[in-house]
């Protein structure tokens, strides 16, 4: 029985809830004849330099707000799927047994929390939070954000930005992630293409520490060869199956 599991998730775990991933081919992803996700491939539709960099925000903040407003509004239309729920269940069962569990996610949606996960490190920020660039105050919102908004703390107008880690910025919780990995005896990566660092580098780090690793993805990711094991299929199928297997002493 494992004692400490660290899971990393990416956009693929939320695909079957109806949220687009970033890098898939435009269109839908099918397994056999079943559509397993509404895949738009966000970076095929938008130039990430315009909407997901500090420079893009400086150049055209209204466009950046529009991009994240759309995505924030989507949160109200989607619900956690069986994969999110299985991970919340895994956390509860492991903690009940005195084991450890850390969920690291690159996702900025709130589906892990809504599924009941507690120890979630959202390394790329949160869609339902914004930050005042003048006083650094961070606060929750489920509404559209604009340049006319004022900060509830310092009352300055025009300094509100999405609480999202953009390209060129440093992700959150890097020390906590390192600490969780140093104690892990299994690392599992779910629904991520492994193309954005530092998240993409975690499998290499655990490999150096001789920690077993498992990739769960629709298809093999760019980093697939670095994992000890790989299981491929839709997250709503393979994640609940893997969670059950943890308690059958398969790992």
**Sites of contact with ligand OAD (CB under 6 A):** 10-12, 15-16, 21-24, 29, 36-37, 52, 106, 124, 165, 167, 191-193, 195-196, 217-219, 221, 234-235
Min CB(230)–ligand OAD separation in Å: 12
Min CB(234)–ligand OAD separation in Å: 4
Pick the catalytic residue: 65, 124, 137, 229? Answer: 124
With respect to ligand OAD, which residue has the nearer C-beta, 51 or 151? Answer: 51
With respect to ligand OAD, which residue has the nearer C-beta, 56 or 159? Answer: 56
Min CB(219)–ligand OAD separation in Å: 5
Per-residue H/E/C for 180-246:
HHHCCCEEEEECCCCCCCCHHHHHHHHHHCCCCEEEEECCCCCCHHHCCEEEECCHHHHHHHHHHHH
Distance CA 88, CA 240 (A): 11
Burial bucket for residue 76 (CB in 10 Å: 0-12, 13-18, 19+)? exposed
Distance CA 216, CA 64 (A): 32
To the query of whether residue 124 is one of the catalytic residues in this protein, the response is yes
Min CB(82)–ligand OAD separation in Å: 11
The residues that bridge with 216 in the sheet, in sequence order, are 190, 231
Residues identified as active-site = 124
């Amino acid at each position: 029985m494992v004692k400490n599991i660290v899971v990393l998730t990416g956009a693929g775990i939320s695909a079957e809830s109806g949220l687009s991933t970033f890098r898939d081919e435009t269109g839908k992803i099918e397994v056999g004849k079943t559509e397993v996700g509404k895949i738009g491939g966000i970076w095929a539709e938008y130039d990430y330099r315009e909407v997901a960099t500090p420079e893009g925000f400086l150049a055209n903040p209204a466009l950046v707000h529009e991009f994240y407003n759309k995505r924030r509004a989507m949160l109200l239309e989607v619900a956690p799927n069986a994969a999110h729920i299985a991970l919340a269940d895994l956390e509860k069962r492991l903690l009940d047994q005195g084991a450890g569990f850390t969920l690291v996610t690159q996702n900025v949606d709130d589906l892990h929390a809504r599924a009941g996960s507690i120890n979630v490190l959202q390394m790329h920020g949160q869609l339902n939070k914004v930050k005042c660039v003048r006083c650094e105050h961070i606060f929750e919102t489920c509404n559209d954000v604009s340049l006319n908004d004022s900060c509830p703390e310092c009352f300055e107008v025009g300094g509100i930005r999405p609480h999202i880690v953009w390209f060129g910025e440093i992700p959150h919780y890097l020390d906590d992630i390192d600490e969780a990995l140093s104690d892990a005896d299994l690392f599992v990566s779910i629904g991520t293409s492994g193309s954005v660092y530092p998240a993409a580098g975690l499998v290499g780090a655990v490999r150096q520490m001789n920690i077993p690793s498992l990739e769960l993805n629709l298809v093999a990711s760019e980093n697939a060869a670095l994992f000890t094991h790989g299981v491929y299929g839709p997250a709503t199928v393979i994640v609940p199956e893997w969670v059950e297997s943890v308690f059958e002493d398969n790992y």
